[in-house]
A and B are shown apart, each in its own frame.
Chain A
Amino acid sequence: MDSTLLAQYVLAGLVIGAIYCLMAVGITFIYSVMRMINWAMGEFYMIGGYLQYLLIESWLGPQRWYLAVPLAAGGVALLGMAVQIVLLRPMFTGSLERLDEYATIVTIALTVLFRNLAIVIFGPYQFSPPDYAAPVQLGPLPLNGSRFVAFAGAVVLLGLLAFVVRRTWFGLALRGVAQNRLGAVTAGVDLGRIDMLAFGIGVGLAGAAGALLAPVLLVYPESGALSTVKGFEIIVIGGLGSLPGSIVGGLLLGLVESLGSVLLSPSFRDVYGFGALLLILALRPTGLWGERAREA
């Protein structure tokens, strides 16, 4: 195979990998702060896609998609905060036992709820807003405009998140809670608020990914299923609870899929991630950047 082609596939893998990162970082973000996996991540992604489509089709028009993306992500974040207040906050008031079990069951029930609500409201059809931009040439790689926008959007969002987490007081509070909840409380951090905001931001990232990818991967009730799985594969590969791990894992998964489909077979593109996951679990179970946490 000639090197231009290889470069093209590598680049294509990195582009899709950057978008996977949004999902994985959202999952990690929620896990670090609340110590729970949000299994309904893909459904928030799906809702982001629907919001984006509705905003573009009914109000903003295809020219102003860049206004619709933050609105859709914000809407998803608000929904996430509402979910957190109604369903997840009781986890931390001491009235429940087995927090991880409770969180798992509740978020899986949410998966069923949102998926079927989408079918009831919009039907099983696939929607897609028009492309966000004209095709671009990225080095040797000709790229679909929407894909490029999604890539750029993912990079901007991840940069913004990194800034907030590393450089602001709010980010300091987040990191404090992630390290030690009790310690953070004694330092005067309002845990309820931090949990709510962290959950909102985490699912908001998924919503943004859904909105950005709406023209590429289409919007339908089960559109979140595959992206959730990719997110989970990434966090196992990168290491549960590590933001850098999620980013490296996301890019790696994009690469593995892209190279796997050219070197092996394109029909099994969605299976290579699982292979990578098994490999990591067998060789380095804590993931590339994994924390060596004590068991609770």
Chain B
Amino acid sequence: MTADRPAARTRLRLAAAAAGLIAAALLPLALGAYHVHVLTVALYYVVLASSWNLLAGYTGLFSLAHHVFAGLGGYTSALLVLDAGWPIPAGVLAGGIFACALGFALGSVTLRLRTLYLALATWAFAESTRVVVSMEYGVTRGDLGLAVPKLFPGAGPAPYYEVFLGCAAAAVAALLWLLRSPIGYRLRAIRDDEGAARAAGVNTVRWKRFAFAVASGAAGAIGAVYGHYIGLLSPVAMKFDEMALIIIMVILGGQRTIAGPIIGAVTVEVVSEALRAYGQIRMVMFALVVLAVMRLYPPGLAGLLRALATRAARTAGVARSAGAGRGVAPPTTNSAS
């Protein structure tokens, strides 16, 4: 039972995560270019879904402009690279900083009010930004789309895959670290009961704004990288459907878990590629699944996997300890973190 001691357990988990990461990094050797591309896009959504989960899941802030922050990061980087001749990494950084600053500003206006206002204002922000981007033809080339220089010109999807894997791993690690730090406790306290959090001395406006700016910045940075992968930016990616997709991924995978958005993003992206021939029926299906999850099983896929694992461990434990007559620890339910 050594694995039950916290330190050993953490070490075990770290080792498992490292092994998983190495295995994932080696995947392009085994798969064709198309499949690698699908996984690359899935990793892009892993970052978006995880950062949105920080907002909606852990802090209780429903940003409905996450996709637009990603798009704006993409445009910022692309325009800096194209018009000002910046190197691509600097452009990506600038994209993230720009989205972060916008998030900070929007948060400053809305977060003093009830959290509903953030959702309302971000939705209006998203639609207005989309209109501006498609109208400012001279700068963004509007609905025609902006051709963006690629990060690795002439290369297949494999190097991009590794970049996105690195970004996703960094984002998830940062999220884990953040949630374990005092800041993470403040954010969760805000979600659970904002009044109580304020009474306990948490500057709720400041930390809500912090979470919103950080998550928006992450979306902006990964959106910039994505632009340099796909090579084309257009206001279509700023439609609400894209935001709905992120929400679907998080809910399906399981809110308020680290694994949930990862599982959800990969599942939704892979399934929707596999069923590409069915067109919009896929989205109808996903919407119905989300309604079913919300109504019947809110823990989502991550919760389901955890429950199954607990049950398996319990039956194994019962079999092992039957002779010794030792009690079995009660199953851990889907814990909040």
Contact = CB atoms under 8 A, between A and B. Distances in A.
Interface of A: 37, 39, 87, 90, 96, 98, 100-102, 104-106, 108-113, 115-117, 119-120, 222, 225-226, 228-229, 232-233, 235-236, 240, 267-268, 270-271, 273-274, 277-278, 281-282, 285-286, 293, 295
A110 B244 CA distance: 10
Contact of A106 (B60, B121, B125, B294): B294
Given A229-B124, A295-B194, A101 B62 contact: yes
Contacts of A102: 294
B39 to A, nearest CB: 24
Given A102-B294, A120-B279, A240-B116, A270 B241 contact: no
A109 B290 contact: yes
Given A37-B119, A120-B281, A87 B195 contact: no
Contacts of A229: 123-124, 127-128
A111 B110 CA distance: 24
Contacts of B113: 281, 285-286
Nearest to B283: A116
A267 B136 CA distance: 9
Contact of A120 (B116, B280, B288): B280
Contact of A267 (B109, B125, B135): B135
Contacts of A226: 127
Contact of A117 (B62, B114, B124, B284): B284
Contacts of A286: 113
Given A281-B110, A282-B109, A37 B284 contact: no
Interface in B103-152: 109-110, 112-117, 119-121, 123-125, 127-128, 131-132, 135
B25 interface: no
Contacts of B195: 295
Contacts of A39: 123
Going nearest first, the 5 A-B pairs with the smallest beta carbon separation are A113-B287, A274-B128, A116-B283, A112-B287, A109-B290
Given A232-B120, A281-B110, A282-B109, A110 B287 contact: yes
B326 interface: no
Contacts of B288: 113
B251 to A, nearest CB: 6
A120 B281 CA distance: 7
B284 A116 contact: yes
B120 A37 contact: yes
B286 interface: yes
A278 B109 contact: yes
A104 B62 contact: yes
Given A109-B291, A116-B283, A295-B114, A277 B248 contact: no
20 contacts: A96-B298, A100-B115, A104-B62, A106-B295, A111-B244, A113-B288, A116-B280, A116-B281, A116-B283, A116-B284, A225-B239, A236-B124, A240-B114, A268-B131, A270-B128, A271-B131, A278-B121, A281-B121, A285-B113, A295-B194
Nearest to B56: A101
Given A111-B240, A112-B248, A235 B120 contact: yes
Given A281-B109, A281-B110, A285-B113, A105 B251 contact: yes
B247 interface: yes
Interface centre among B284, B286, B290 (most CB of A within 10 A): B284
Contacts of B62: 101, 104
Contacts of A273: 124, 128
A116 B285 CA distance: 10
A271 B112 contact: no
Nearest to B291: A109
Nearest to A225: B240
Contacts of B287: 109-110, 112-113, 116
Given A105-B294, A120-B281, A232-B123, 5 more contacts: A109-B290, A110-B291, A113-B291, A232-B120, A281-B113
A108 B247 contact: yes
Contacts of B127: 225-226, 229, 270, 274
Given A87-B295, A281-B110, A104 B119 contact: yes
A230 to B, nearest CB: 9
A200 B102 CA distance: 38
B121 A236 contact: yes
A109 B294 contact: yes
Contacts of A105: 247, 251, 290, 294
Contacts of A271: 128, 131-132
A37 B122 CA distance: 14
Contacts of B286: 112
Contact of A233 (B56, B124, B239, B283): B124
Contact of A112 (B121, B194, B241): B241
B192 to A, nearest CB: 9
Contacts of A278: 109, 121
A274 B240 contact: no
A235 B194 CA distance: 24
A220 to B, nearest CB: 13
Interface string B44-83: 0000000000001000101000000000000000000000
B66 to A, nearest CB: 13
